Structure 1
Amino acid sequence: MKATPTAIPDVMVIEPKVFGDARGFFFESFNQKAFNEATGSNVNFVQDNHSRSAKGVLRGLHYQLQQPQGKLVRVVRGAVFDVAVDIRKSSPTFGQWVGVELSEDNHKQLWVPAGFAHGFVVLSETADFLYKTTDYYAPAHERCIAWDDPAIGIEWPADIAPQLSAKDQAGLSLSQAEVFA
């Protein structure tokens, strides 16, 4: 597997070695030892999640203030534009974002460490989104930053009219949100 740092070096694009021919393809979607070596981290994943969403659904920007979760995310059907926002107040990249298209065709994954808000918008008719987390879901500690906060300035795909949950509609601006030290 290959790990490439993004403009925010702690967030990495993970690309597995894909073996394919006319019959289809095979790749190892996760290997703990290879992941830790490629990213220089020493994390353990405790939970796997799977969501399916329709075109235009935007989920995020989510994070847990306590029991923070690192997330290794990928798409197995369809395509999404995936975003990570640095919300570590002491970080030199605080308030900055990176975005990557993840799809069933490019097989890319994104490593989003704890300390980041995360979200995605579906680009295809539907998308199946899978992610591993480094801590368990804790709804009492979940927070949401507004997907369209101008202080962050995420450049979401222009042709998408986002469909939001009530929770995501109520997201706070970065300046109002509780963030990491």
Structure 2
Amino acid sequence: MKATPLAIPDVILFEPKVFGDDRGFFFESFNHRHFEEAVGKPVNFVQDNHSRSVKNVLRGLHYQIRQPQGKLVRVVQGEVFDVAVDLRRSSATFGQWVGAHLSAENKHQLWVPEGFAHGFVVLSETAEFLYKTTDYYLPEYERSIVWNDGDIAIQWPFEGEPVLSAKDINGKSLIDADTFR
């Protein structure tokens, strides 16, 4: 599996080696040893999540201010544009974002470490999204930054208005959000 740090080097894009023929395909979707070598630290996943969304649904930008979650995300049906925003005030990339197209076709995965907000928008008619997390979901610590915050200026690759949850409509701006040291 190829591991490529993005413009924010702590966020890593994983590209598996896919073996295919007329019968179908095979690839190793996760190898703990190779993953830890790529991220440079021990990682323990405790929860797997699966969501399904329709076109133009935008989920995010979510994070947990306490017991932050690192996330390894991938798409098993459809296509999304996936985003990570650095919320670590001590980081040289605080408030910056990186994004990647994840799809069932390209089989790429994105590592979003603790200290980042995460979100995605569905580009296909539907998409199924899987992610492993390093800590449990705790709603009392969940926070949301508004998807179109001008200080972050994410270049979402869709036209029109996204379909949002009430939580995401009421997301805070980066300047008003709880962040990490």
Same fold at TM > 0.5:
yes
Name the counterpart of 2:68: 68
How many angstroms does 1:24 deviate by? 1.0
How many angstroms does 1:28 deviate by? 1.0
| Greater mean alpha carbon deviation, residues 63-72 or residues 34-43 | 34-43
Q: Does 1:146 align with 2:170?
A: no
Q: Given the two structures, how large is their TM-score scaled by the length of structure 1?
A: 0.98
How many angstroms does 1:77 deviate by? 0.1
For 1:170 and 1:79, how far apart are their aligned partners in 2? 26
Deviation string 1:92-117 (CA, Å, 9 cap, x unpaired) is 00000001000000000000000000
| Residues 69-148 of structure 1 mapped to structure 2, 5 A cutoff | 69-148=69-148
| Greater mean alpha carbon deviation, residues 158-167 or residues 109-118 | 158-167
How many angstroms does 1:158 deviate by? 3.2
Unaligned runs of at least 5 residues, structure 1: none
Name the counterpart of 1:177: 177
SS of the residue 1:35 aligns to: helix
Deviation string 1:8-44 (CA, Å, 9 cap, x unpaired) is 0000001111111121111111111121122222111
Preserved CA contact (<8 Å) 2:56 2:158 = no
How many angstroms does 1:47 deviate by? 0.3
| Residues 145-164 of structure 1 mapped to structure 2, 5 A cutoff | 145-164=145-164
Preserved CA contact (<8 Å) 2:123 2:158 = no
Name the counterpart of 2:47: 47
How many angstroms does 1:160 deviate by? 4.9
**Structure 1 pair 130–81 and aligned structure 2 pair: CA distance change class (3 A):** same
Name the counterpart of 2:33: 33
Q: Given the two structures, how large is their TM-score scaled by the length of structure 2?
A: 0.98
Q: Which runs of 4+ in 1 moved over 6 A?
A: none
Preserved CA contact (<8 Å) 1:80 1:120 = yes
Unaligned runs of at least 5 residues, structure 2: none
How many percent of aligned residue pairs carry the same amino acid? 71
For 1:74 and 1:93, how far apart are their aligned partners in 2? 24
Preserved CA contact (<8 Å) 1:123 1:160 = no
| AA of the residue aligned to 2:10 | D
| Residues 9-28 of structure 1 mapped to structure 2, 5 A cutoff | 9-28=9-28
RMSD across aligned positions (CA): 0.8
